[in-house]
Amino acid sequence: MVELTVGRRARAYRHAPATLARIAQEAHAHAADHLILSGDITAYALESEFQGAREALGEWAQDRRRCTVIPGNHDVFTPGGHRSRRFERYFGHLLESDLPEHCREGAFPFVRLVGEGAAVVGLLSARVPFMPGIAHGWVGPAQLEGLAAVVKDPRLEGRALLVVVHHAPLTPRGRTDHVFHGLRDAEALCRLLPGPRYAVLHGHIHHRYHHEATAGRPHLFGAGSSTLEGHEGYWVIDVAAGQVMGGQMHTPGQHSRADLPLGRHA
């Protein structure tokens, strides 16, 4: 990250390592049980970017019981980065599942048990683009089948499920994203997760927003671009009694902007 010094995107993210480190520090101040990153921890999938992100996260990234990180489309931006498994070299230890029998596509979906009242489920939607400008993603039938098994697993009864995927099921206006940018199987994903027991935590769209759960879909929390200069921020999400109660938006170094009650998952 620290070596991105040219171009519009580089300028917009030149303070990204420091911002990410500040967010990690504030997660301690919130007494967060778990830190979740929904992808795009790099801009160009460069070795230096992955190294910078790992260093910025500090001790959080050392323990899969405390931290979940999934790749975004920028983290698999190039075929070379994908082939050399750069993401896995720095964050692969965080992909190990507490319930590995549900994995269907490599490490995904993986399950992380958090305390007694929650579980984090990681999905892979980021794919190497077949041509420049294509940024859509998909989970795929195999992972969806694995997720369905996770939802039905009796060992997870009484736990809220926080499902992390990079691509957004819905835009800030509640619409399906366009074909070259969106999550192709968003409807199938949401159909598996009806009601307030579930939340989908995503990135990809550079706006921070929340759609409340309904009888037919989960809570949807868009992380926004947490390290984009002028738009820095993150969610703290509250889980209680096996339900996702809501969340609160925060700007690093500033007071929070209340959306819903304060919570424990940054």
Residue 9, pLDDT > 80, answer: no
Give the model's pLDDT for residue 131: 80
Residue 258, pLDDT > 60, answer: no
- Residue of 107, 206, 190 whose CA lies nearest to 151: 190
Judge contact between 13 and 54, C-beta under 8 A.
no
Judge contact between 238 and 255, C-beta under 8 A.
no
In a domain, 221, yes or no: yes
The set of long-range contacts for 132-136, using a CB threshold of 8 Å and a minimum separation of 24, is 133/180, 134/180, 135/73, 135/180, 135/181, 135/204, 136/167, 136/177, 136/179, 136/180, 136/181, 136/182, 136/183, 136/184
The range of the structural domain enclosing residue 211 comes to 8-258
Please count the structural domains in the chain: 1
Give the model's pLDDT for residue 263: 39
High-pLDDT (> 90) share of the chain, %: 77
In a domain, 3, yes or no: no
Q: Tens of pLDDT along 70-83?
A: 999 999 877 778 78
Cα 190 to Cα 32, 163, 166, 211, 225, distances in angstroms: 26, 10, 14, 12, 23
The pLDDT confidence band at residue 185, using thresholds 50, 70 and 90, is very high
Q: What is the mean pLDDT of the chain?
A: 90
For position 251, which CATH number holds?
Answer: 3.60.21.10
In a domain, 114, yes or no: yes
Q: Respond yes or no on whether the N-terminal peptide bond of residue 109 is cis (omega within 30° of 0).
A: yes
In a domain, 98, yes or no: yes
The pLDDT confidence band at residue 255, using thresholds 50, 70 and 90, is low
- Neighbour count for residue 132 (Cβ, 10 Å): 6
- Higher-pLDDT residue of 266 and 176 is 176
In a domain, 86, yes or no: yes
Which residue is listed with tokens 């925060």?
A: 250
- Residue of 177, 187, 237, 186 whose CA lies nearest to 207: 177
Q: Tens of pLDDT along 220-242?
A: 999 999 988 888 999 999 999 99
In a domain, 263, yes or no: no
In a domain, 168, yes or no: yes
Q: Tens of pLDDT along 130-153?
A: 787 789 999 999 999 999 999 999
In a domain, 1, yes or no: no
